[in-house]
Amino acid sequence: MLAPTALPPASASAAARAGLTFPKGFAWGASTSAYQVEGGATADGRGPSVWDVFSHTSGKTRDGGTGDVAADHYHRSYEDLDLMRDLGLKSYRFSISWPRVLPTGRGTVNAKGLDFYHRLVDGLLARGIIPVITLFHWDTPQALQESGGWENRDCAKWFADYASVVCYSLGDKVQTWLTLNEPKTVVEVGYTAGVHAPGVRDRRVANVAGHHLLLGHGLAVQAFRATGRKGRIGAALNLSPTYPADDSDAARRQTILADGEENRRWLDPVLLGRYPDDWLATQSPDAPVRAAIHDGDLAVIGSKSDLLGVQYYNPAYITATGGRVQKHPTTQASWQEVYPQGLYDLLTRIKRDYGDIPLTITENGMPSVHATDDEDRITLLRDHLTAAHQAIREGVRLEGYHVWSLLDNFEWAEGYTQRWGIVHVDYATQQRTRKASANWYQQVIARNGI
């Protein structure tokens, strides 16, 4: 639970926010993920993931959108690399498609799949852009799903084996690794609401999958170390600062519980090697997650992380009955709530409660309905960067910022109806066009500030 802060409101004049310089070497970046941009769904031996199956199931995505082609980045990576260079990006966060490298999730490596990522990394390095690789951005190989997926404890081990292959192969060129992207979303949207792949609607099963995801994170950290490669590894967590919706004691109590579910349930195991007691207490005595937590698991999950990826899209306001209300404007993404000060609260809270682990913002952004004239996105990005800057001034070790997203792309269950890119993609022609926000971001990067 956090006290609101006194940052200038989002409506503060541009002048009040102008002239903020970021630390030397700040990693100005952009993010994408494999299934959302690559396309090439069956190219060069790629196997299916749960998202191929889910998106091809009638009624699961808006207008039946799939990632079959997406932004066709698999075939246009050189053009996209030049685009990144022209923007002046210092860092590019992307994910590796597990079934492109291991078509059935384990066993024989698909050399052509791995080669794609070698070429991409070489292209980034040749352009002076730091590669930041996410190992799991939700595309569990379908063959593993058929063996139980993340409900099966073995999946953590399969993930670590895959991590070992990739980290060893690319580890002489790549220095920054992220294990999981947003395990909370997998648990809540993929396994509880069933709106994302694999489309399960069972809270009890979801928490088991959540534990196995965390175990996979820990085993992947250990697998990375075992490769002997130099570099840093950590998780990328979506976090939401929680605030009471009113000043009742009941709302305050519920807010602490909600903070457990939103934040501490992920941060504590990864950074402190334990589950929060109050979160565990919410699990009934016969909850299957209790049996899923074996002796020694938390020590594995708490294996030392070198950095933390922070993804921020919204705060959470909690009512006296534990419900949620929105207090700030939303966007085309109804779950989003625009409250830039929440990012400041979140970053300073991580430092206060978890110490000085280096942080990088791995996602932040919004969908805009404007094709290229996306002034709304510029305002949002600038306000969040202002909040991030204040946190840096107060001693938070924030090393970088990655806007979600570089390109318009496949937005999961929303298909192609939400455009999150700073670069517009015409899906009929695959033509890329910079939006106003891309031009603005280029200037921000060039002057290392807003």
- Alpha-carbon distances of 43 from 29, 187, 246, 328, rounded to whole Å: 28, 30, 53, 43
Nearer to ligand FCB, 239 or 251 (CB): 239
Q: Is the peptide bond before 58 cis (omega within 30 degrees of 0)?
A: no
By CB under 6 A, how many residues form the interface with ligand FCB? 11
Instruction: Kindly state the smallest distance separating residue 41's Cβ from ligand FCB, in Å.
Output: 17
Tokens at 54, concatenated: 């889910």
- Alpha-carbon distances of 402 from 101, 309, 361, 421, rounded to whole Å: 25, 10, 6, 12
- Determine if 412 is a binding residue for ligand FCB (CB under 6 A): yes
- Determine if 390 is a binding residue for ligand FCB (CB under 6 A): no
Tokens at 97, concatenated: 């498609």
Q: Tell me, residue by residue from 220 to 239, as one string, x for binding to ligand FCB by CB under 6 A and - for no binding.
A: ------------------x-
Annotated active-site residue in 38, 151, 182, 411:
182
Nearer to ligand FCB, 35 or 162 (CB): 35
- Determine if 182 is a binding residue for ligand FCB (CB under 6 A): yes
Segment contacting ligand FCB by CB under 6 A, of 51-59, 179-187, 226-234, 320-328: 179-187
Of the candidates 404, 416, 440, 441, which one interacts with ligand FCB according to CB under 6 A?
404
Question: In a 3-state reduction of DSSP, which class is residue 295?
Answer: coil
- Determine if 181 is a binding residue for ligand FCB (CB under 6 A): yes
Position 136, amino acid: F
Annotated active-site residue in 38, 261, 337, 363:
363
Instruction: Kindly state the smallest distance separating residue 285's Cβ from ligand FCB, in Å.
Output: 32
- Determine if 33 is a binding residue for ligand FCB (CB under 6 A): yes
Nearer to ligand FCB, 376 or 411 (CB): 411
Tokens at 64, concatenated: 């039946």
Nearer to ligand FCB, 182 or 374 (CB): 182
How do beta strands 431-434 and 423-426 pair? antiparallel
Of the candidates 188, 261, 337, 411, which one interacts with ligand FCB according to CB under 6 A?
411
**363 given a catalytic annotation:** yes
- Determine if 38 is a binding residue for ligand FCB (CB under 6 A): no
Of the candidates 147, 185, 283, 332, which one interacts with ligand FCB according to CB under 6 A?
185
Instruction: Kindly state the smallest distance separating residue 332's Cβ from ligand FCB, in Å.
Output: 11
Of the candidates 262, 337, 363, 408, which one interacts with ligand FCB according to CB under 6 A?
363
Instruction: Kindly state the smallest distance separating residue 21's Cβ from ligand FCB, in Å.
Output: 28
Question: In a 3-state reduction of DSSP, which class is residue 205?
Answer: helix
**Distance of alpha carbon 335 from alpha carbon 333, whole angstroms:** 5
Nearer to ligand FCB, 363 or 383 (CB): 363
Supply φ then ψ for residue 353, to 5 degrees: -95, -20
Segment contacting ligand FCB by CB under 6 A, of 41-49, 210-218, 344-352, 404-412: 404-412
Instruction: Kindly state the smallest distance separating residue 188's Cβ from ligand FCB, in Å.
Output: 10
Which residue, 362, 364, 359, 441, is CA-closest to 394?
Answer: 359
- Alpha-carbon distances of 103 from 106, 316, 336, 412, rounded to whole Å: 8, 38, 34, 21
Q: Which residues contact 252 (CB under 8 A, 6 or more apart)?
A: 1, 244
Segment contacting ligand FCB by CB under 6 A, of 10-18, 46-54, 124-132, 180-188: 180-188
**Residue-by-residue DSSP string for 298-328:** HHHHTSPPS-EEEE-S--EEE-TTS-EE--S
Helices (H) and strands (E) in the chain, counts: 18, 13
**337 given a catalytic annotation:** no
**Distance of alpha carbon 100 from alpha carbon 204, whole angstroms:** 31
- Determine if 77 is a binding residue for ligand FCB (CB under 6 A): no
Instruction: Kindly state the smallest distance separating residue 418's Cβ from ligand FCB, in Å.
Output: 8
Helices (H), 93-174: 98-101, 111-126, 142-145, 154-170
- Residues with catalytic annotation? 182, 363
Write out the residues near ligand FCB by the rule CB under 6 A: 33, 36, 181-182, 185, 238, 363, 404, 411-412, 420
